[in-house]
Structures are given as C-alpha cells and as structure tokens.
C-alpha cells in the first residue's frame, strides 16, 4: 500500500504509519511549498492513501489516482478536498477536528492579556531605551539587592502610560461556542471572567452544566461585554457578522479579539472605531487580506492594537495532535473498523 504524504507531522506520532505501507513524503512534509494541481496529480497517481494539509485534492487529482482508497486532511475542515469527486468514488475523507483548539484558545487569552495590559507596548518602549537607566545609576542596598522602583504618577510615567485593565470580574463575550470557543471560556473562567455566549446553533446541553449565559441577540452581547472574541468558520451567515452596526454597540472601554478569520469582521469599521477611540483596543491574528500589508493602519497608525501574523495554531503540539488523529484513523480504515474522524460529505 502506497501512502502519499504531504502534511506537516510529528515523527514520533507518525511511526505506526510505516507499518501500514510505503510512506512517500513530499511537499510540506519535506519543507517544500504547496504543489500546483498538475504536479500533485502526477506524484500521487499511484497512491492508495493521500494525506495532506494544504495541497488541493481536486477532481483531477482524484480521477488520476485509480487505486485511491482514502483521503486524509490534517485540518479542522477539509476545504481543500473536492468532496463531490470523493463521494462519486466512495472514497472516505478524514479530517482532524479539535487539533489546534487548545493552542488557539491559549493564544486568544494571550492576545487578551497583551492588549488589556499593554504588554507589547511596554516591551517596545524598553527596547527603544525608554524607562531605562544607565547601569552605573542602578542603586543597591547593603544586602546587594536592587532598590525597588516606585514610579510617580505624572503623565509620562510608565505606570500611567501602560496602565491597563484586569480580566477578573470582566464580561467576556464569545461569538461562536464550538471547540475553540469552549476552551477559551474554560480558561477565561479560571481568570474569574463572566461568560456571555452568542451562538445560534448552540444546543442547550452545551451550556446547562457550566456557568455561562447565552445571549439571544448579538447586539446585546456587543453592548454588554468588556471583551469580545470570535471563533467561527466562514459561512454566508458568519461573513461580516461583526458589522459596523455591531461595532457601534461596543462600550468605549471594551476590547475586540479575533483569532478566527478576518472575513467575519468589517475591518474598515473597526479601524475607524479604534482611530476615534470609540473602543479601548483590539488584538488580531487574522485579517481581511493576508499577509497583512506593510502600510496597514494596524501597523502604521494605531497605537491601541496588538497584532500577530496568523500564528494562533502554530505549536508543535498541533502537529502531534493531528498526526496521532490521522494515523489512528488510517489504522482503523486498514483494519476495517469505523473511523472516528470521517468527514460527512
């Protein structure tokens, strides 16, 4: 059995796959770029199993592989697989739901802390020489310990410039209470935050056993929350859901966090709100257009924003998770057992 493998992976978790068949690594698996359709179709033409992360498993790829029996995609949603073509051949498609839920949730909380406490701004100031002293001016006590620094309360003091807000006691609005949203809520509760949930598709059982409050109208959540964080897939219903009207509902002391997808947001409307200080700040890992342009207002103009380059899911743990998920399900497939992560066409 030949396994054509172009996904990122963890070697220790991949080992059981070698007992199943010949594993041919290419593309992302060996540090190369995503393949064009023709190249991918040619290289995978004699594969029994295709395992990929981002390469497009198109109709051409599927039709060009007569022995193909299984497709696996190491993503939360296998958007790069032609489902109709796979269905016509009755080829199961595997995916890896929840693979990066903890990683992304932790990043989301990190972004909240970063903007609420102005951590990157304080770091930047110190790196640029602000609020520092010449080494010879640092005083020590007789015991050899440095004297504790007590800043004054004048306008230029870092204690004033970087004064932020704590998470405990604040209301966190979570838009989308799926795998990642739930994990964000779990961590936020440990900080002592009150959870407000907006998710039209939420089952009552998802909230009945935990201390959260479901909000029926998004505008009510936007008006009440001290922090708003979004965790949704892009669909016609979620595209632009955080509209200009929704942003206008936010309190001037509120913060907006987005580590899901840029398309859920009216970015221009939020830029205006940040520019005019109609909200306290925002933190982003995703944007309307990616990579973010070097002249984007988040970079060149706004001082109440924390940004990162779409890395919320970037940890070694994610590779371990999705490798284990896929390998275990491939083993089940080969043994004729039911698979845990089979995508429904």
Per-residue pLDDT reduced to its tens digit, 230-252: 999 999 999 999 999 999 999 99
**Which of 261, 267, 296, 322 is flagged as catalytic?**
261
Q: What is the mean pLDDT of the chain?
A: 95
State what percent of residues in the chain have pLDDT above 70: 94
H-run or E-run covering 13: helix 11-14
Verify whether residue 261 is a known catalytic residue: yes
Query: Quick check: do 2-99+316-334 and 101-117+164-307 share a fold?
Result: yes
The CA distance from 148 to 93, in Å, is 60
- pLDDT of 144 over the 90 cut: no
Cα dihedral 56→342→5→323 (10° resolution):
120
**Which of 117, 189, 310, 332 is flagged as catalytic?**
310
Lowest mean pLDDT among 21-25, 139-143, 279-283, 323-327: 139-143
**Which of 22, 84, 237, 290 is flagged as catalytic?**
290
Verify whether residue 130 is a known catalytic residue: no
How would you classify residue 250: left for phi > 0, otherwise alpha for psi between -120 and 50, otherwise beta?
A: beta
Q: What is the pLDDT of residue 264?
A: 98
Please tell me whether the overall predicted TM-score, pTM, comes out greater than 0.85 for this model: yes
- Is residue 222 a contact partner of residue 250, using CB atoms and an 8 Å limit? yes
Of residues 149 and 288, more confidently modeled: 288
Verify whether residue 310 is a known catalytic residue: yes
Sign for the CA dihedral angle at 206, 241, 244, 181 comes to positive
Lowest mean pLDDT among 32-46, 48-62, 72-86, 122-136: 122-136
- pLDDT of 87 over the 70 cut: yes
Q: What is the pLDDT of residue 147?
A: 62
Q: What's the CATH code, domain 101-117+164-307?
A: 3.40.50.720
- Is residue 6 a contact partner of residue 53, using CB atoms and an 8 Å limit? yes
Q: What is the pLDDT of residue 136?
A: 77
92-110 residue pLDDT tens: 999 999 999 999 999 999 9
218-229 residue pLDDT tens: 999 999 999 999
Q: What is the pLDDT of residue 133?
A: 86
State what percent of residues in the chain have pLDDT above 90: 90
Q: What is the pLDDT of residue 138?
A: 67
Mean pLDDT of the 67-86 span = 98
**CATH architecture of the domain with range 2-99+316-334:** 3-Layer(aba) Sandwich (3.40)
Mean pLDDT of the 57-79 span = 98
- pLDDT of 143 over the 90 cut: no
Sign for the CA dihedral angle at 101, 103, 107, 110 comes to positive
Q: DSSP 3-state assignment of 260?
A: coil
Sorting pLDDT into bands at 50, 70 and 90, what band is 211?
confident
Sorting pLDDT into bands at 50, 70 and 90, what band is 142?
low
Mean pLDDT of the 206-213 span = 71
259-295 residue pLDDT tens: 999 999 999 999 999 999 999 999 999 999 999 999 9
List CB contacts of 196: < 8 A, sequence separation 6 or more.
171, 172, 173, 174, 212, 213, 215, 221, 224, 225
Mean pLDDT of the 1-20 span = 97
Mean pLDDT of the 125-136 span = 91
Delimit the domains of the chain by residue range: 2-99+316-334, 101-117+164-307
């Amino acid at each position: 059995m030949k396994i054509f493998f172009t996904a990122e992976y963890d070697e220790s978790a991949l080992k059981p796959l070698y007992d199943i068949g010949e594993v041919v690594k290419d593309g992302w698996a060996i540090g190369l770029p995503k393949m064009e359709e023709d190249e991918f179709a040619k290289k995978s033409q004699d594969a029994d199993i295709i395992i990929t992360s981002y390469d497009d498993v198109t109709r051409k790829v599927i039709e060009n592989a007569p022995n193909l029996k299984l497709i696996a995609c190491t993503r939360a949603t296998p958007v790069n697989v032609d489902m109709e073509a796979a269905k016509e051949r009755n080829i199961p498609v595997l995916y890896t739901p929840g693979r990066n839920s903890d990683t992304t949730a932790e990043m989301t909380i990190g972004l909240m802390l970063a903007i609420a406490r102005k951590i990157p701004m304080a770091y930047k100031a110190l790196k640029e020489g602000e609020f520092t002293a010449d080494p010879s001016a640092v005083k020590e006590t007789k015991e050899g310990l440095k004297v504790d620094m007590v800043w004054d309360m004048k306008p230029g003091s870092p204690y004033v410039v970087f004064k932020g807000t704590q998470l405990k006691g604040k209301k966190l609005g979570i838009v989308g209470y799926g795998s990642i949203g739930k994990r964000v809520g779990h961590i936020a509760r440990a900080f002592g935050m009150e959870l407000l949930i907006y998710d039209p598709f939420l089952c009552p059982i998802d909230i009945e056993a935990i201390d959260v409050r479901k909000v029926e109208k998004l505008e009510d959540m936007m008006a009440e929350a001290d922090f708003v964080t979004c965790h949704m897939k892009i669909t016609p219903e979620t595209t632009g859901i955080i509209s200009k009207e929704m942003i206008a509902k936010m309190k001037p002391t509120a913060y907006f966090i987005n580590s899901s997808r840029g398309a859920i947001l009216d970015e221009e409307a939020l830029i205006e709100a940040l520019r005019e200080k109609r909200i306290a700040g925002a933190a982003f890992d995703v944007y309307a257009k990616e990579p973010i342009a070097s002249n984007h207002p988040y970079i060149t103009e706004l001082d109440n924003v924390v940004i990162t380059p779409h890395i919320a899911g970037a940890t070694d743990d994610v590779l371990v998770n999705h490798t284990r998920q896929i390998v275990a399900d491939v083993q089940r497939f080969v043994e004729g057992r039911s698979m845990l992560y089979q995508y429904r066409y």
